[in-house]
Amino acid sequence: MRKLKINNNEVAFYAIGGLGEIGKNMYCVQFQDEIIVIDCGVLFPEDELLGVDYVIQDYSYLVENQEKIKAIVITHGHEDHIGGLPFFLQQVNAPIYSGPFALSLIRGKLEEKHLLRTADLNEVDDDSVLKFKKMSVTFFRTTHSIPDTLGIAVHTPQGTIVQTGDFKFDLTPVGGLPGPNLQKMAKLGDEGVLLLTSDSTNAERPEFTKSEQWVDIHIRRVFERIKGRIIFASFASNVYRLREASDAAIRQGRKIAVFGRSMENAIAAGQELGYLNIPDDYLIEQNEINSYPPEKVLIMCTGSQGEPMAALSRIANGTHRQITIQPGDTVVFSSNPIPGNTVSVNQLINKLDEAGADVIHGYVNNIHTSGHGGQIDEELMLRLMKPKYFAPVHGEYRMQKIHTHLAEMTGVPLENSFIMANGDVLALTKDSARIADHVEAGDVYIDGRDVGDSVGNPEIRERRLLSEEGVVTAIAVVDLENHQIVAGPDIVSRGFVYMHESQELIKAANHEVFWAILNTFKNRKKIDERALNRTIVSRLQKLLFAQTGRRPVIIPMVTIINGDK
């Protein structure tokens, strides 16, 4: 079992994911034989990770030390904070503590993976206290772009470690929902915060992030001037935005149809918990949308990030079974592209424009605001918490660096701030802090549904090579006993060269494989399939690179007869 290289009286803070990146959040506080895990998210892959569905954390340290895990506490229900739970719980079964909305989303995820029956799920709010033998956990209410967001305070023998979760200070939340609990944050600060770990996503923005009420006003104005059908795309989990859109539609007498499984689940959870108030007679089935005039229909759908299989992409491509773009349609994007999605979102907007829809999107039309606080929000959090030590989290390196300078401006000495990487272990006492160790915290690429469906860097490199250079297959039937080529060789190219226009190259490749096999017969006393394949790949690689300057993946397919004699 891997043990941390820290002193017995030191408390450790480390991230398995979430540092130097946007997503994959997973933070741990450990004192002796107790570990509190905060969040367990996923990272959506960049385009170069071909075929990868999710990027999750390397949990190996936590798996080895799973008997020490006392709780998994969840700050909120976004994918980059809860999306990894179905994978993690396949290896570690620890109790989960979460606010009601996130808990509803977690139940749905675990049910899909057949993990719900064995999961230990517990609902908490900002008044809850979790007590363990050596540590305890309390919560404080924050505001974000999703309901029931909580900051986490882990109380240890050496002092309190605070993880803010994703936050902004929204003083006028929509629907009369509660605002951030400034009093509780200030109380934590007055009692003493040893380490603050705070959301750095918007550290580059010198602003106070606008309230959802501001977006609500502009969505109503946008809806009032649209005469035709509205297709509204947003993050399914942004229930506040769904509330604003549905309220505006109901004022106009529009019926509401919902497309996309995650959107359906979020609306069902929002209705159940009281965050949405859509009367039953305003919700219509998907096949009923053509029964109403266009000016009386709102379609709420997934796909605001350009996901190829989401409802909006299929509508734009003309492949959706029930919806096609009609003259007079207006598509409203109430979100901004997350890092890595800008190109796909722009392509989607272009397709919708080409199909004849009017498209309204982004900050330009005042129909989106971030759920993350800008520099003023971050400074306010630092002022309230008054930490002795500071570690910026959930952000790329440049964001973390800016955040440390904000901390310095609010009274935290620069030497007391730590820009950490995933796996770095910060060991703390009441009077000291040092980087003491590093645990495994790499990326695991999930290509499928389960944690066992992972692929490594070699497979990713091969996929990238296939996508860039193509593949060449060399086919032959060989009689090993008589040292004869019975059939072939034949060359097949896919994604490398167009065979009908490259006959000379294909003929040269056939010739090269023919002589590669004959020379293997001549120069080796013992011949097997592996030796033949190795020679074919080596000689064909040299020829093709010399002729084209490219290195396709070469797959020899040699069938052996009379090989055992």
Give the residue numbers of the binding site: 368-372
Q: Is 190 helix (H, G, I), strand (E, B) or coil?
A: helix
Catalytic residue among 199, 329, 377, 443: 199
Whether 199 is a known active-site residue: answer yes
User: Which residue out of 155, 361, 372, 394 is catalytically annotated?
Assistant: 372
Half-sphere exposure of 248 (CA within 13 A, CB side): 27
Q: Which residues are annotated as a binding site for substrate?
A: 368-372
Rounded to 5°, angle at Cα 358 from 352 and 361? 85
CA-to-CA separations, 303 to 45, 112, 226, 271, in angstroms, rounded:
16, 21, 21, 21
272 and 316 in contact (C-beta within 8 Å)?
no
- d(CA 167, CA 150) in angstroms, rounded, equals 9
| In contact, 524 and 441? CB cutoff 8 Å | no
> What gap in Å lies between CA 471 and CA 460, rounded to an integer?
15
**211: helix, strand or coil:** coil
* Cα distances (Å, whole numbers) of residue 447 to 119, 359, 454: 24, 33, 6
User: What residues does 97 pair with on adjacent strands?
Assistant: 73, 122
Residue 252 structure tokens: 């106009």
Task: Tell me whether residue 78 is one of the annotated catalytic residues.
Answer: no
Helix axes 397-409, 375-385, angle to 10 degrees: 50
- Which backbone phi and psi does 445 adopt, to 5 degrees? -95, 120
Tokens, residue 44: 């959506």
Residue pair 200/410 in contact by the 8 Å Cβ criterion: no
With 0-12 CB in 10 A as exposed, 13-18 as middle and 19+ as buried, what is 318?
A: exposed
Q: Which of 479, 481, 468, 470 is nearest to 505 (CA)?
A: 470
Report helix, strand or coil for 300. Answer: strand
CA distance 56 to 80: 10
Tell me the helices (H) and strands (E) count for the chain, helix number first.
Answer: 15, 25
Active-site residues: which are they? 199, 372
